[in-house]
Structure 1
Amino acid sequence: MGASLVTIDNVDMRYGGADGTLAVSGLNMVVERGEFAAVVGPSGCGKSTLMKLVTGLHIPQQGLVTVAGIHVTKPVSIVGMAFQNPTMLPWRTTLDNVLLPLEIVERHRRRLRKHKKEYVEKAEHLLETVGLKGFGSKYPWQLSGGMQQRANLCRALIHEPELLMLDEPFGALDAFTREELWQVIRDLHASQDVTIVLVTHDLREAVFLADNVHVMSARPGKILKVHKIGFARPRDLSVMYEAEFNDVVQGLRGEIADARAVA
């Protein structure tokens, strides 16, 4: 960890013009390079707005968003994204779905034709890393939801983003699959040189994965508190059965309940 990769400085974001909904107000956040940050808070608190501000999909009416030292005024190319529903193109194989960002990101698009073999090898290595070795030739409809989400993570990482934004990526999965994928993303973070921001409703997920958990207020959202998670890495799932882990989760739950009550 070193200098900050993401800085949100006193940001206001309103939807629907001057009289519209104020989604976030006075929002401040710093994410260090190499950090795994989780963002939690009540429903409708502006977590997804925060994601869109960092990726440059929304530009705030007030305040500054800086990513890798650059003031964000347009979509940010160093970001990979994965959402709750993996939007795999059904007519493309899993491998071709993973390679898709390389056709879009300018610096890779030029190299892709000449160095296709190199990129295919890289995609296959990523698929192997997430437990999908040999599934590259399958179509999305031949994969379970958990497998599609694994492929979705590979697609988000294929262009070597400095920053990976995860918006509720495991929310639609059953508990066992979700815990498997927590271990996958834990290992990806340890092995890839990537900074991760995870938005989640699942407090156990946040505490298991993150270095720091940022708690948001009810709308208009701002960061109320940042909790440093002190459990040593690499973390095993068994940590979730320790009293100290559950104390942290219950503490977060109480803070979010209080934030909702203020709304």
Structure 2
Amino acid sequence: MTLVSLDNVALTYGGDEGTLAVDDLSLKVRRGEFVAVVGPSGCGKSTLMKLVTGLQRPSEGVVIVAGKEVTEPVSIVGMAFQNPTLLPWRTTLDNILLPLEIVQRHRKRLRRHKAEYVAKAEALLALVGLKGFGSKFPWQLSGGMQQRANLCRALIHEPELIMLDEPFGALDAFTREELWGVIRDIHAQKGITIVLVTHDLREAAYLADRVLVMTARPGRVKLEREVPFARPRPLDLMYEKPFVDLVHELRAEIAEARDAA
């Protein structure tokens, strides 16, 4: 069943004479699927995020999420970005609970059932390896720990769709690989639909069921590549020849898209 659909979408920033970011962009994401989006810099990957979440309206075409045309910010989406953006004056636990103060269907229940939501937040912290850190402030956490908390915040309101925009790009290689394992396990346990925008081709090939390669600006889908590796995927997979070959194939496609610009 399709959860996300873009049909011949175009978006121009700055009016008719502005920058055409994406054009004739069409794609579908199935419910429960993990899709990674890669491409040359400036190809419209982040614009895709804004279109799906309703933060931008298309200039042309239609965006549909969960059977409804997107005309406003979508409440069934959780988002995580490269910078965790945790509020420094709130504890980790209170940062995670923040979306519940905003999402309409949870806001009224939060006051009456706060203990229930706190328990849910604590369970998420345990899931990402931060059990016992709910009382800490962001400045007391490492970058990797902050990003784990950021993932919890994206999940707390039980979204049907998670949008990840370069969430691990600012982390060191070892921490990044640790968090790949975390997001891999979250996807497996919760069966949630995930769209990941990334420049890291190993990350895309390791995590995704399908990789979409975009052209240079104006962005559109150049290639859809199914990832053939069975789940669960161990980190050692990245040193095996079929995995390395897939990464090289994706890199060649992106180089071709960049050269064609």
Q: Which TM-score band applies after superposition, normalised by the shorter structure?
A: over 0.9
Residue equivalent to 1:89: 87
CA RMSD of aligned residues (A): 0.4
Percent identity at matched positions?
73
* Mapped partners of 1:210, 1:60: distance in 2: 26
d(CA) in 1 for partners of 2:255, 2:105: 45
Count of residue pairs the alignment pairs up = 261
What pairs up with 1:113-132 in 2 under 5 angstroms? 113-132=111-130
**Secondary structure of the residue that 1:95 maps to in structure 2?**
helix
Q: Distance in 2 between matches of 1:225 and 1:250?
A: 14
Partner of 1:25: 23
Aligned equivalent of 1:226: 224
Match of 1:64 in 2: 62
Work out the CA distance in 1 between the residues paired with 2:224 and 2:112.
Answer: 46
- The structural deviation recorded for 1:192 is 1.2
**Tell me, what secondary structure is at the counterpart of 1:75?**
coil
Quote the Cα distance in structure 1 between the aligned partners of 2:191 and 2:197: 20
Q: Cα deviations across residues 136-158 of structure 1 (Å, max 9, x unaligned)? A: 00000000000000000000000
Alignment match of 1:148 (pick from 143, 146, 149): 146
How do 1:177-192 and structure 2 match up within 5 A?
177-192=175-190
Tell me the equivalent position of 1:253: 251
Distance apart, 1:69 and its partner CA: 0.3
Alignment check: 8 A CA contact 1:45 1:220 kept: yes
Deviations 1:28-62 (A, max 9, x none): 01000000000000000000000000000000010
- Structure 1: runs of 5 or more not aligned: none
Q: Matched residues in 2 for 1:238 and 1:196: separation? A: 23
Which residue pairs with 1:201 in the alignment? 199
Q: Structure 2 stretches of 5 or more lacking a match? A: none
Secondary structure of 1:127's partner?
helix
Identify the residue that residue 77 of structure 1 maps to in structure 2: 75
Correspondence for 2:137 = 139
- 1:51 and 1:104 map into 2 onto residues whose CA distance is 20
1:4 to partner: Cα distance: 0.5
Query: Contact 1:162/1:193 (CA < 8 Å) preserved in 2?
Result: no
Q: 1:79-104, CA deviations, whole angstroms, 9 ceiling, x for partnerless residues?
A: 00000000000000000000000000
CA distance in 1, matches of 2:120, 2:23: 41
What is the CA-CA distance between 1:193 and the residue it aligns to? 3.2
How far, CA to CA, are the matches of 1:116 and 1:142 in structure 2?
24
* TM-score of the pair, normalised by structure 2: 1.00
Q: Secondary structure at the match of 1:91?
A: coil
Take 2:62 and 2:191, find their aligned partners in 1: how far apart are those partners?
Answer: 25
TM-score (norm 1): 0.99
- Structure 1 Cα separation of the partners of residues 258 and 211 of structure 2: 17
Query: Which residue is 2:157 aligned to?
Result: 159
Q: How does 1:229-248 map to 2 (within 5 A)?
A: 229-248=227-246
